[in-house]
Chains A and B, each alone.
Chain A
Amino acid sequence: MIEIKDLHKSYKTGSNSLHVLKGINFSVAEGELVSIMGSSGSGKSTLLNILGMLDEADSGTYTLDGVPIKNLNEKIAARYRNKFLGFIFQSFNLISYKSAVDNVALPLYYQGLKRKERMDRAMAYLEKVGLTDWAQHLPNELSGGQKQRVAIARALASDPKVLLADEPTGALDTKTSYEVMDLIQKINEEGRTILIVTHEHDIAEMTKRIVNLKDGVIIDDNKVDQIKALQYV
């Protein structure tokens, strides 16, 4: 599903340049649930942003579902993001003036669906994350866990190939984190490929594979026995 080879990325700040990713080789098959770990500043978010086409690598190749991702202009990147990817952020990034269901429906607006169909689909995904009763609420009327579940529903709405989550539980307490992980595991069990950046070991252990980043390179990459989140909920 995801195939990257010899990926390099450096940031230029003023006169000095910071080499963040120093040759990443990495691939993810369909249906995997992978966590990316590493200390702060090791380049986890940078890698995920490149995978999400929110940022571009300096060199190396990236293939997503057989499509080579390179030299994208903004327009095509936007289209690919809409079609292939769903994002889940640490700070949720819901649009504050839109209700839960309108937030979930937004990716479908950019797919050009009619309003009725957008609403039907958005409601279906809200039901999936257990928030049917909260559909008409604004984000600031929801708890952190509920917000993240709305964000997950939104990420799923466009039926993407891959879900990318940057510290999805970073802003949540332990119990809520496990609820969210339970949801993520369920979604993964339906066959969806998911990548999660985290620096919490207990969260990483709820995935099926842990990739460790250090100083811009992968230092280890192991399959693990997944711990089910449900037992803690």
Chain B
Amino acid sequence: MFDLERWEEIFDTIRKNKLRTFLTGLSVASGIFILVVLLGIGEGMRNGISKEFEGDAANILYIWTGPTSVEHKGLNPGRIIRLRNSDFQTISQKYEDDLEFRSSVYRIWNGMVTYKKESGSYRVEGVLPDYQFLENSSMVKGRYLNYTDHENYEKVVVIGNRVSNDLFKGAEPIGKYIEVSGINFKVVGVFTDPGGEREENRVYVPLSTGQRVFNGSNYINNMAFTLEKADNFEAALAASNKFSAEIDQFLKEQHVVAPEDTRAITINNSLENAKRFYDLMDMIKFFFWGVGICTIIAGIVGVSNIMLIIVKERTREIGVRKALGAEPLSIVGMVLHESIFVTAIAGLIGLISSLALLELVGPIIETEFIANPAVDFRVALTTVIILIVAGALAGFFPAYRAARIKPIVALRDE
């Protein structure tokens, strides 16, 4: 490998066979180029879709309570269990790192909402700012509730699109005051929800305000959490099952509920959204892997083909070299050395030019579904190495065969 004479001989051959070298190099470089660009776009699509699914993606856990159904520690069944702010705080703190969004919900019963002469009965709830993401709502106008509202017990409200249409009939709602069960709240935002009319039929106030104004004390009706995204569906499922089991145990101990009592404390672990998200991600990954493998196979076939042709073309030369005293191994070494050298250089050129292209064109092609197209450098480098090894292997067999051909056969006049 470090034999200077041999390198000289190789360079000599490469220099004097420019077309052959160029064609081998081109097939390798273009193979790598296409692969890396494809992988980059695939990654971009994953990033883009991941962004689209944000908020909707993770698995949501809803927790609510009901009357106990089993006797426990001398307490009769039928006892009403009510969650408290402290339950929510304890869980939020304990799972700080695992949770993506969190909110508790205080339901205000009999939610009559009035603006001037219009009025209607809507579902009114006190919630935390994260609730927007848990419900996956987006703002049509104004803003959602924030933590300042919550801390200052602000009498502000966000209303669903439907509520806005009912009460305001197309007039500007932001900044107007509406009455919720007889108390004035200022409208700060109008939201829309992918859940449709039913979910746009709602009115949200800050949790603290709701509890204080409507005599909620420190009680809450339910809690909702999402966990941070996991690498795949299996991991997400495992994480959510673990979380669900742990908080189930915690809440049942806190409220003296029998472990087997499923009515008193219910945790709904909705993985539907998560499953859709992960399935899509898997499909994209699968698709680009498939394309990638096909490209590599095409590249290998291309390189092998060229190697085969080169060796065939050089059969006579190999015969001459052998007649002049070349040992079979030195023939194999010569062919491999040259092919590895050419594929390695061409592979790196393909790699660098494709990375440069992604870097330059990446920002231009950013759309809703493509974000930050980039490729893992290690993956790309691995591919180059695979291609080189494949090229070497593909070159080895014809070279080996050629080296074994008797010189008289190679030298025979056609």
Chain A nearest CB from B325 CB (Å) reads 3
Closest 6 CB pairs of A and B: A82-B325, A97-B16, A110-B325, A107-B324, A54-B408, A78-B327
Q: How far is the CB of B318 from chain A (nearest CB, A)?
A: 10
CB-CB under 8 A from B71, the residues of chain A are: none
A81 touches B325 (CB 8 A): yes
Return the contact of B323 from the options A52, A79, A98, A109 (Cβ within 8 A): A52
A114 touches B17 (CB 8 A): no
User: In the assembly, what is the distance between CA of A89 and CA of B410, in Å?
Assistant: 13
A49: chain B residues at CB < 8 Å are 408
Q: Which of B324, B327, B329, B408 contacts A55 (CB 8 A)?
A: B408
Pick the residue among B12, B317, B320, B326 that contacts A78 (CB under 8 A).
B326
Contact of B17 among A52, A87, A97, A102 (CB under 8 A): A97
28 CB-based A-B contacts, threshold 8 Å:
A54-B411, A55-B406, A74-B404, A75-B327, A78-B322, A78-B326, A78-B328, A79-B325, A82-B324, A83-B325, A87-B324, A89-B411, A90-B413, A91-B413, A93-B316, A93-B319, A93-B323, A94-B320, A95-B321, A97-B16, A102-B12, A106-B321, A107-B325, A109-B9, A110-B321, A110-B326, A154-B324, A158-B325
Q: Do B323 and A87 touch across chains, with their CB atoms under 8 A apart?
A: yes
CB of B13 closer than 8 Å to a CB of A: yes
**Residues of A97-155 contacting chain B, CB below 8 A:** 97-98, 102, 106-107, 109-112, 114-115, 154
Q: Say how far A123's CB is from chain B's closest CB, in angstroms.
A: 17
Q: Are B328 and A74 in contact (CB under 8 A)?
A: yes
The answer to whether A74 touches B327 (Cβ under 8 A) is yes
Residues A54 and B407 in contact in the complex (CB < 8 Å), given A97-B13, A115-B8: yes
What 0/1 pattern do residues 340 to 370 of B give for CB contact below 8 A with A?
A: 0000000000000000000000000000000
B330 within 8 A of A: yes
Q: Considering the complex, give the chain A residue whose CB is closest to the CB of B16.
A: A97
Whether A114 lies near B324 (C-beta < 8 A) is no
For the complex with contacts A54-B323, A75-B327, 17 further pairs of A-B residues with Cβ separation under 8 Å are A55-B408, A74-B327, A74-B328, A75-B328, A75-B329, A81-B323, A82-B324, A91-B413, A93-B323, A96-B317, A97-B16, A98-B12, A102-B12, A106-B324, A107-B325, A110-B330, A112-B5
- Minimal Cβ-Cβ distance residue in A for B314: A95
Shortest B285–chain A CB gap in Å is 47
Q: Which residue of B lies closest to A167 (CB)?
A: B413
Q: Give the distance in Å from the alpha carbon of A81 to the alpha carbon of B327 in the complex.
A: 10
For B329, list chain A residues within 8 Å (CB). Answer: 75
A-B contact count (CB 8 A): 70
Minimal Cβ-Cβ distance residue in A for B6: A109
CB-CB nearest in chain A for B316: A93
A interface with B by C-beta (< 8 Å): 49, 52, 54-55, 74-75, 78-79, 81-83, 87, 89-91, 93-98, 102, 106-107, 109-112, 114-115, 154, 158
A110 to chain B, nearest CB (A): 4
Task: Tell me, in angstroms, the Cα distance from A98 to B322 when the chains sit together.
Answer: 16
Provide the residues of chain B in CB contact with A106, threshold 8 Å.
Answer: 321, 324
A121 to B94, CA, bound (A): 85
Interface centre among A55, A75, A93, A114 (most CB of B within 10 A): A93
We find that the number of chain B residues with CB closer than 8 angstroms to chain A is 27
- Per-residue CB contact flags for chain B residues 389-412 toward chain A (1 = under 8 Å, else 0) read 000000000000000101110010
Determine the chain B residues whose CB is within 8 A of the CB of A97 once the complex forms.
13, 16-17
Bound CA span A102–B319, Å: 17
**Residues of the A chain whose Cβ atoms lie less than 8 Å from the Cβ of B13:** 97
Q: B326 — nearest CB in chain A belongs to which residue? A: A110
Give the docked Cα–Cα distance between A87 and B320 (Å).
Answer: 9
Q: Are the CB atoms of B16 and A54 closer together than 8 Å?
A: no
- A residues near B330, Cβ cutoff 8 Å: 110
Cβ-closest chain B residue relative to A75: B327
B413, closest chain A residue (CB)? A91
Residues of A with C-beta under 8 A to B407: 54
Report Cα–Cα, A49/B410, bound state, in Å.
13
Which of A52, A91, A95, A158 is the one whose CB lies under 8 Å from B317? A95
> What residues on B are CB-neighbors of A91 within 8 Å?
413
In the complex the two chains form, what is the Cα distance from A106 to B16 in whole Å? 15
A90 cross-chain contacts in B, Cβ below 8 A: 413
A112 to B325, CA, bound (A): 11
Q: Check if B324 sits within 8 Å of A81, measured CB to CB.
A: yes
Residues on B with C-beta less than 8 A from A107 are 324-325
Nearest-CB residue, chain B, relative to A157: B324
In the complex, A93→B404 CA distance in Å? 19
Task: Tell me the bound Cα distance from A74 to B330 in angstroms.
Answer: 12
Report the separation of the CA atoms of residues A110 and B334 in the bound assembly, to the nearest whole angstrom.
12
Residue pair A79, B16 in contact (C-beta under 8 Å) = no
CA distance A111 to B5 in the complex (A): 12
Question: Chain A residues near B8 (CB, 8 Å)?
Answer: 115
What CA separation (Å) do A87 and B326 show in the bound complex? 14
Residues of B within 8 A of A52 (CB): 323
Q: How far is the CB of A127 from chain B (nearest CB, A)?
A: 20
Contacts of B327 in A (CB 8 A): 74-75, 78-79, 110
Look across to chain B and name the residue whose beta carbon is closest to the beta carbon of A56.
B406
What residues of A have a CB within 8 angstroms of the CB of B411 in the complex?
Answer: 54, 89, 93
